[in-house]
Amino acid sequence: MMTPIFEKALLIAAIGMTGIFLFMAVFYLLILLLDRLMPYREEKPDEENIVEFETEEDEEEK
């Protein structure tokens, strides 16, 4: 038999779990949004800044 306290407990549990799932769903959408707005781009080395060093082997070849 359902007592009023048990009914209230079920209600709190139902609201609580729904609340958590809703919260996490919003989080999920937030992450998707972040991914859409700021996708990962592989950092490529800036070719202008590459300085070529001559190694001892290069000098020997010369």
Minimum CB separation from other proteins for residue 6, in Å? 6
Burial environment of residue 52 by CB neighbours within 10 A (0 to 12, 13 to 18, 19 or more): exposed
The correct pick among 40, 49, 55, 61 for binding other proteins (CB under 8 A) is 40
- Closest CB to other proteins among 10 and 58? 10
Asked if residue 58 binds other proteins (CB under 8 A), the reply is no
CB of 19 to other proteins, least distance (A): 5
